Amino acid sequence: MTTVETAPSAEHPGWMGKSVPRIEDARFIAGRGNYVEDVVLPNMLHMAILRSPYAHARIVSIDSSAAMALPGVVAVVTGALLAEHKLAWMPTLSGDTQAVLATDKVRFQGQEVACVVAEDRYVAHDALELIVVDYEPLPAVVTPQAALEDGAPLIRDDKDGQVDNRVYHWEAGDAAATEAAFAGADRVVSLTTFYPRSHPAPLECCGCVADVNPASGKATIWMTSQAPHAIRTVFALVAGLPEQNIQIISPDIGGGFGNKVPVYPGYVVATAASLLIGRPVKWIEDRTGNLISTGFARDFHMTGELALDGAGKMLGLRVKMLSDQGYAYADAQPSKFRAGLFHMVTGSYDLPAAHVVTDGAYTNKAPGGVAYRCSFRITEASYLIERLVDVAAVEIGMDPAELRRMNFVQPDQFPYRSATGFVYDSGDYAPALDLALEQVGYAEVRAEQQARRAAGATKQLGIGIASMTEALGAGPSRDYDILGIKMFDSAELRVHPTGKAILKLGVRHQGQGHETTFAQIVAHELGIPPQDIVVQEGDTDNTPYGLGTYASRSTPTAGAAAALVARTLREKARKIAAYLLEVAEEDLEWEADRFSVKGAPEKVKTIQEIAFAAYTNHPQGMDAGLEGVKYYDPPNLTFPFATYIVVAEVDVATGEWTPVKVVAVDDCGVRINPMIVEGQIMGGLTEGYAMAAMQQIAFDEDGNCIGSNFMDYLIPTAMETPHFDLFDTCTPSPHHPLGCKGVGESATVGSPAAFVNAVVDAVSHLGVRNIDMPVLSSRVWEAIHAAPG
Amino acid sequence: MNITVTVNGSARTSEVEPRMLLVHYIREVLGLRGAHVGCDTTSCGVCTVLLDGLPVKSCTMFAVQADGRSIMTVEGMATNGQLHPVQAAFHSEHGLQCGFCTPGMMLVAKAFLEENPAPSEEEIRWAISGNLCRCTGYQNIVKAVQAAARNMSEVSK
Ligand code: FES
Ligand code: FES
């Protein structure tokens, strides 16, 4: 096991746990970021995509002659043309297939049907209007329940052996043990709820610039990708291009949140078009294209049942889940787990038995199932258990904080093996809950709630708690791979002769602050100040292989790799220092940024002096230079936890509600840069609120997407977004070299349940037990009026 | 059509198609890439620039409508290599993550502080509510605008 060094320690004063202002800010505040839209190449063409207006239809014919005749149009690419090159279909990240451009049928509204490549973006869009597609509409399947009915139209009739709309069936836990637990229970409570389809909607849409050199065959593709190395391999496999000739460059990314993990048809067609035409091709998606066709998230129909004894001790958990996958199974997730890490549904609770049954169905909707600020479906799991605990608290007449506390996994149980097979690394849940209760002023708010109830006030108060635990940092390669590629990650560190350094990583940030945080890791280990370190990510020709940034995995994997490679260089530096100081290696001690001779502290060599010597005066027989690379395969996932408490005020006359206080206590282990960590938590809380309050990609009965632009798909502005009060506890990960656990998604995973619990709690005395997200005021009003009273 | 626009203080004359959007003129004709495009419905504000000192969404104007007027983009905020106090505060208060909304946010904040040098939190939230941010949760943006207001009033004292 690697050693844990918590910050700040006497050995390494300074860089750990310090809110170093972000190094990457300089270019962004000057308007000098370099996003994909900013990539302009000589002779570049522009591509636009024609999309299906129908959710389900047979394509009778496509006539592109008028479009081709428009001056400035260079090519119109259709599925038929791609089929000639065996490129009409491509694999998804879950091992299914997805159309690049439709050939036989369209299977969701917004599906890519044809692409125009033109000299100018305006001409490309003009030409879309001139393409005539003759469709024969087919009945659309718009719910997973309908999809699994006998006689439902078969959506994937293109797939050999696919006889119905079932995608997968997967179970976790122990069915018999769970049945026994339920048989012996005093109380069983249940909740049926729907986690609606949502969309990450980063403010920058997807796009690429593909430049295939017709002479050398080299394909350079600038792409909005959170996982450029994996994409390179997928491109090699799909397009049959030799992998050494593919360079994926992921430039600055304007937010990702899981949306920019998959391969999208636009990338493939732009690359194919560049290959066929011999000129660079740029494709920049519009917002409608982004919302209706790229990776959605959630869309889980869930029923949970909790067995309890008379005192409120949890005995067992039984979960059934049906997911709406759209027309292709495209979850970006470890291949061993068919519903991601949804079986993490036991959460923070010591549940002796659990059984989880999951099914997925095809529908006439966009594919996706991306990990939207979430470690592979843990968001849905966390929501279900945290809502279910609140339902149980009301039904058995217990305080929801007490019910949680008495059922938490206890500190002496770690490492804790859960009933569904996870091994939690470390945790101490009660202090986080207690701190949150104290900060929210729990007793006073409860008293105020009672007073308002007694007075029959129009504005009622509710308190919503969520004590979540998540599992992230995939992953140990024995269990975690995507399309067979193991989920390790990597770091390459080169210290230059003048003592400055470049750190190259296999991950790719989208605003998470890696250029600062990872520089701090090296600074902590080697004493080179962060401003002397460049962190490079995203260019597959110039970074070591890695699986990318999503599921909060960067600090758990690449962060560990960065620390370990720095430690390796420190050992080499020790040898050089011993040579320079003419002492034995054991006679040296390391402090912050230098080796000194034990007992003769005036005899020192700083890391900068050692780096210079590594290139100018290194010992004979030793390789010159101070460089190294580390591939890190974590021994386990990490298990950060948090308690979020929301106080909401609900107007029972109108159903309108506002969060009036939001307290977050996060424990993500050791914090490298607390300012950046808090920024991640506030962003996550905002998305948690967004999902609870307004975000939904909905469809009508014909499969028309209602939510295809920012007028219909609502994301919160500064006005609706509440103020957040943040606090922390620190339980280091015992297996991460720095004790870190990762944090980018905790608040999105945990907080939606806190918001919903707060609203339901405010009206539970009126008989309301559940309101599904998004908790619109109309739904609150309806729930109050439908309640038994 | 031939248009002349004063951009960050210097007059620029260009031949543009009448239907060219102002944001495309700024990005592609003038080569100023701090203004971005994030939606099709005038909702997100990442394209915001100042037109005669007031924020406009440059995705919803034609370039020809800017003829004879003056535009400030993020590239014009710093003077003589010195960051504008709003830029400095976005950095010090961690008011940005991916940076995509940042130029628009900062320009709105600048125009707002010129009109209201000592705003309340509520007023700041209202002022930036035409600009979406998907990363920060706004709280640090609000703090940045407050910090900029303090610094600007110190300087003007
Ligand atoms: S691009 Fe969204 S408002 Fe202009
Ligand atoms: S910083 Fe990413 S959208 Fe605002």
Q: Is the pLDDT of residue A5 over 70?
A: no
* Chain CA centroid to CA A737, Å: 23
Pocket of ligand 1 (CB under 6 A): B 37-39, 42-47, 57, 59
Q: Angle, to 10 degrees, between the axis of helix A429-440 and the axis of helix A442-455?
A: 50
Contact A427, A639 (CB under 8 A): yes
Neighbours of A134 (CB within 10 A): 11
The better pLDDT of the pair A11, A197 is held by: A197
Averaged pLDDT, A368-379:
92
Contact A400, A776 (CB under 8 A): no
**Contact between A28 and B99 using a beta-carbon 8 Å cutoff:** yes
What phi, psi does A121 have (nearest 5°)? -65, -35
| Residue A7 pLDDT grade (very low, low, confident, very high; cuts 50, 70, 90) | very low
Among A587, A614, A632, identify where a domain stops.
A632
Both structure tokens of A94: 């879950």
Lowest mean pLDDT of A306-315, A326-335, A350-359, A576-585, name the range. Answer: A326-335
Neighbours of B136 (CB within 10 A): 29
| Residue A240 pLDDT grade (very low, low, confident, very high; cuts 50, 70, 90) | confident
Residue A12: its pLDDT value, please?
Answer: 43
| Domain B2-76 top-level CATH class | alpha beta
CA distance B86 to chain A (A): 9
Q: Using alpha carbons only, what angle is made at residue A59 by residues A53 and A64, rounded to the nearest 5 degrees?
A: 85
Residue A13: its pLDDT value, please?
Answer: 57
**Which chain A residue has the Cα nearest residue B142?**
A718
Residue A153: its pLDDT value, please?
Answer: 97
In angstroms, what CA-CA distances link A182 with A290, A320, A402? 45, 15, 22
Which of B24, B33, B134 minimises the CB distance to A31?
B33
CB distance A719 to ligand 2 below 6 Å: no
Number of domains in chain A: 2
* Chain CA centroid to CA A614, Å: 40
What phi, psi does A191 have (nearest 5°)? -145, 130
Let me know whether A627 and A656 are in one domain: no
Residue-wise pLDDT tens digits, B88-97: 999 999 999 9
User: Distance between CA atoms of B107 and B75, rounded to whole angstroms?
Assistant: 10
User: Distance between CA atoms of B55 and B35, rounded to whole angstroms?
Assistant: 12
Neighbours of A658 (CB within 10 A): 13
Residue-wise pLDDT tens digits, A699-744: 999 999 999 999 999 999 999 999 999 999 999 999 999 999 999 9
Q: Is the pLDDT of residue A587 over 50?
A: yes
A45: in domain: no
Q: How close is the Cα of A700 to the center of ligand 1, in Å?
A: 27
User: Distance between CA atoms of A381 and A418, rounded to whole angstroms?
Assistant: 14
Residue-wise pLDDT tens digits, A628-653: 999 999 999 999 999 999 999 999 99
Both structure tokens of A416: 């804790």
User: Distance between CA atoms of A332 and A341, rounded to whole angstroms?
Assistant: 12
**Which chain B residue has the Cα nearest residue A509?**
B98
User: Distance between CA atoms of A492 and A487, rounded to whole angstroms?
Assistant: 17
Q: Is the pLDDT of residue A409 over 60?
A: yes
**Contact between A710 and B19 using a beta-carbon 8 Å cutoff:** no
Let me know whether A625 and A651 are in one domain: no
Q: Which of B26, B36, B43 has most ligand 1 atoms within 8 Å of its beta carbon, as the pocket-test mutant?
A: B43
Whether residue A601 is preceded by a cis peptide bond, meaning omega within 30 degrees of 0, is: no
Q: Angle, to 10 degrees, between the axis of helix B139-156 and the axis of helix B85-92?
A: 140
% of chain A exceeding 70 in pLDDT: 98
Among A609, A632, A655, identify where a domain stops.
A632
Atom of ligand 1 nearest to the CA of B42: 3
Residue-wise pLDDT tens digits, A436-479: 999 999 999 999 999 999 999 999 999 999 999 999 998 798 89
**Contact between A252 and B99 using a beta-carbon 8 Å cutoff:** yes
Which of A32, A719, A721 minimises the CB distance to B126?
A719
Of the candidates A226, A383, A224, the one whose C-alpha atom is nearest the C-alpha of residue A299 is A383
User: Distance between CA atoms of A351 and A362, rounded to whole angstroms?
Assistant: 32
% of chain A exceeding 90 in pLDDT: 93
Which of B43, B78, B137 minimises the CB distance to A682?
B137
From first CA to last CA, the distance across chain B in angstroms is 46
User: Distance between CA atoms of B86 and B72, rounded to whole angstroms?
Assistant: 14
Atom of ligand 2 nearest to the CA of B46: 3
Tell the residue number behind the tokens 């350094």, with chain if given.
Answer: A501
**Which chain A residue has the Cα nearest residue B98?**
A511
A25: in domain: no
Let me know whether A462 and A533 are in one domain: no
Of the candidates A260, A351, A267, A339, the one whose C-alpha atom is nearest the C-alpha of residue A298 is A339
User: Distance between CA atoms of A339 and A355, rounded to whole angstroms?
Assistant: 14
Q: How close is the Cα of A235 to the center of ligand 2, in Å?
A: 29
CB distance B25 to ligand 2 below 6 Å: no
Q: Is the pLDDT of residue A2 over 70?
A: no
Let me know whether A612 and A524 are in one domain: yes
Q: Domain containing A522: what range?
A: 489-632
Q: Is the pLDDT of residue A287 over 60?
A: yes
Pairing of strands B70-72, B48-51: antiparallel
| Residue A788 pLDDT grade (very low, low, confident, very high; cuts 50, 70, 90) | confident
How many A/B residue pairs have CB atoms within 8 Å? 168
Let me know whether A644 and A689 are in one domain: yes
Residue ranges per structural domain of chain B: 2-76, 85-155
Going by C-beta distance under 8 Å and a sequence separation of 6 or more, which residues neighbour residue A84? Answer: none
Q: How close is the Cα of A27 to the center of ligand 1, in Å?
A: 21
Let me know whether A628 and A498 are in one domain: yes
Residue B157: its pLDDT value, please?
Answer: 64
Averaged pLDDT, A98-116:
98
Q: Does residue A682 belong to the interface with chain B, where contact is any CB pair within 8 Å?
A: yes
Averaged pLDDT, A61-82:
98
**Which chain B residue has the Cα nearest residue A689?**
B137
In angstroms, what CA-CA distances link A432 with A188, A439, A604? 28, 11, 44
DSSP at A344: G
Let me know whether A686 and A655 are in one domain: yes
Q: Does residue A120 belong to the interface with chain B, where contact is any CB pair within 8 Å?
A: no
A70: in domain: no
Averaged pLDDT, A7-29:
80
A587: in domain: yes
CB distance B90 to ligand 2 below 6 Å: no
**Which chain A residue has the Cα nearest residue B78?**
A30
Mutant choice from A203, A372, A509 vs B, greatest count of B C-beta within 10 A: A203
Residue A241: its pLDDT value, please?
Answer: 87
A184: in domain: no
CA distance A681 to chain B (A): 9
A142: in domain: no
User: Distance between CA atoms of A312 and A147, rounded to whole angstroms?
Assistant: 39
Let me know whether A692 and A719 are in one domain: yes
CB < 8 Å to A679, chain B: 94, 97, 135-136, 140
Let me know whether A529 and A444 are in one domain: no
| Residue A74 pLDDT grade (very low, low, confident, very high; cuts 50, 70, 90) | very high
Asked whether the domain spanning B85-155 has the same topology as the one spanning B2-76, the reply is no
Q: What is the full DSSP assignment across A668-704?
A: -BS-S-HHHHHHHHHHHHHHHHHHHHT---EE-TT--
Let me know whether A517 and A655 are in one domain: no
Residue-wise pLDDT tens digits, A510-534: 999 999 999 999 999 999 999 999 9
Both structure tokens of A602: 């005036």
Specify whether the backbone of A22 is left (phi greater than 0), alpha (psi in -120 to 50) or beta.
beta
A100: in domain: no
CA distance A517 to chain B (A): 13
Whether residue A788 is preceded by a cis peptide bond, meaning omega within 30 degrees of 0, is: no
* Residues of A belonging to the active site: 226, 373-374, 745
User: Distance between CA atoms of A405 and A424, rounded to whole angstroms?
Assistant: 18
Residue A515: its pLDDT value, please?
Answer: 97
Going by C-beta distance under 8 Å and a sequence separation of 6 or more, which residues neighbour residue A59? Answer: A79, A102, A103, A104, A105, A106, A113, A133, A134, A135
Q: Using alpha carbons only, what angle is made at residue A115 by residues A110 and A120, rounded to the nearest 5 degrees?
A: 120
Q: A706, exposed or middle or buried, with CB in 10 Å at 0-12, 13-18, 19+?
A: exposed
| Residue B155 pLDDT grade (very low, low, confident, very high; cuts 50, 70, 90) | confident
User: Distance between CA atoms of A627 and A512, rounded to whole angstroms?
Assistant: 26
Contact A232, B77 (CB under 8 A): no
Mutant choice from A23, A25, A27, A29 vs B, greatest count of B C-beta within 10 A: A29
Query: What does the mean pLDDT of chain A come to?
Result: 96
Of the candidates B149, B43, B133, B146, the one whose C-alpha atom is nearest the C-alpha of residue B96 is B133
User: Distance between CA atoms of A638 and A646, rounded to whole angstroms?
Assistant: 26
Q: Tell me, what CATH number does A789's domain have?
A: 3.30.365.10
Q: Does residue A576 belong to the interface with chain B, where contact is any CB pair within 8 Å?
A: no
Q: Does residue A125 belong to the interface with chain B, where contact is any CB pair within 8 Å?
A: no
% of chain B exceeding 90 in pLDDT: 97
Q: A575, exposed or middle or buried, with CB in 10 Å at 0-12, 13-18, 19+?
A: middle
Whether residue A640 is preceded by a cis peptide bond, meaning omega within 30 degrees of 0, is: no
B85-155 CATH choice from 1.20.1250.20, 1.10.150.120, 1.10.3720.10, 3.40.50.10240: 1.10.150.120
User: Distance between CA atoms of A393 and A634, rounded to whole angstroms?
Assistant: 38
Among A612, A632, A652, identify where a domain stops.
A632
**Contact between A710 and B132 using a beta-carbon 8 Å cutoff:** yes
The predicted complex's ipTM stands at 0.98
Averaged pLDDT, A617-622:
95
Of the bound ligands, which one is closest to the alpha carbon of residue B95?
A: 2
Atom of ligand 1 nearest to the CA of B59: 4
Q: Using alpha carbons only, what angle is made at residue B94 by residues B88 and B97, rounded to the nearest 5 degrees?
A: 110
